[in-house]
Amino acid sequence: MKTAHRQFKDTTYEHFARVGKAVSAPKRLELLDLLSQGPRTVEVLAELAALSVANASRHLQVLRGARLVESEKKGLFVEYRLASDDVAVFFASLRSLAEARLGEIEQVTRAYFHGRRAMEPIDGEELLRRAKSGAVTVLDVRPVEEYRAAHLRGAISIPVTELAARIDELPKDREIVAYCRGPYCVMAIEAVALLRKKGFDAHRMEQGVLEWRARGWSLERQGTES
């Protein structure tokens, strides 16, 4: 017969395991990463994660069951968001641990970005210093919905899909630092490649909203600092 002490321990770790089980599928991790950028409907998440709507919904229900995400009915659609900023911090910590312990991540990342001649990124601390001094233009190249949900303070929004048509909106006499969804996102690399081709002094930042949120740095939502 279990003692009260043993029962307490077993029950506690069972609840811990609920979170571990919820994030045990690669696609659920990708969904958390996408939701770190801002709220999304099931349909949009399914498209971004290359899932059917039915499969995306099932994965989101698992995450919801572990209290990692929340949902809200909006008209004909269901919109999901992270349950709290703590979830973003958890995801960033999980990713950092995996990067530190699993050499395979570095290998596959190096091979992918090297094949695309990725530029060396500017560190977030360095960007912060330059941005505060007014020395750089910070460019958010994610979809506009993600920019509206949360963006780096002072960043301007030009999605990478619109950059070629709107490139004249950017000053050529200032350095431009582009960012997207973090170290495994290629939108900023594409943007920097285009900007350099057009004669801009452009660089990419490896960190994005998720990393800044995890560090507790200032973000803006709908024009309001947070």
pLDDT of residue 67: 97
Looking at residue 222, the DSSP 8-state letter turns out to be T
Q: Nearest to residue 191, comparing CAs of 182, 180, 181?
A: 180
SS3 content of the chain, % helix, strand, coil (to 5): 55, 15, 30
Determine which one of 180, 189, 191, 202 is catalytic: 180
**How much of the chain, in percent, has pLDDT values that exceed 90?**
66
Given pLDDT bands bounded at 50, 70 and 90, which one contains residue 215?
confident
As a whole number of angstroms, the distance between CA 95 and CA 90 comes to 9
As a whole number of angstroms, the distance between CA 17 and CA 122 comes to 37
Over residues 20-34, mean pLDDT: 97
In the block, tokens 């303070």 appear at 153
For domain 115-225, the CATH class is alpha beta
Q: According to CATH, what is the number of the domain 4-88?
A: 1.10.10.10
pTM of this prediction?
Answer: 0.84
As a whole number of angstroms, the distance between CA 94 and CA 23 comes to 10
Token representation of residue 111: 């091979």
Q: Does 222 or 19 have the greater pLDDT score?
A: 19
Q: Does 162 or 218 have the greater pLDDT score?
A: 162
User: With 70 as the cut, is the pLDDT of residue 225 above it?
Assistant: no
pLDDT of residue 198: 95
Q: Nearest to residue 202, comparing CAs of 185, 186, 179, 184?
A: 179
Given pLDDT bands bounded at 50, 70 and 90, which one contains residue 207?
confident
Residue type, 103: G
Over residues 122-145, mean pLDDT: 80
Q: Which residues of 139-175 are buried (b: 16+ CB within 10 A; e: fewer)?
A: bbbbbeebbebbbbeebeebbbeebeeeeeebeeeee
Contact predicate 162/181, CB 8 Å: no
User: With 80 as the cut, is the pLDDT of residue 118 above it?
Assistant: no
pLDDT of residue 211: 86
User: With 60 as the cut, is the pLDDT of residue 226 above it?
Assistant: no
Contact predicate 158/166, CB 8 Å: yes
As a whole number of angstroms, the distance between CA 132 and CA 139 comes to 14
Domain boundaries, the chain: 4-88, 115-225
In sequence order, the 6+-apart residues with CB closer than 8 A to the CB of 199 are 172
Over residues 63-85, mean pLDDT: 95
Neighbours of 67 (CB within 10 A): 13
pLDDT of residue 222: 64
Over residues 128-139, mean pLDDT: 78
pLDDT of residue 216: 77
pLDDT of residue 190: 93
Q: Does 110 or 194 have the greater pLDDT score?
A: 194
Is 180 marked active-site? yes
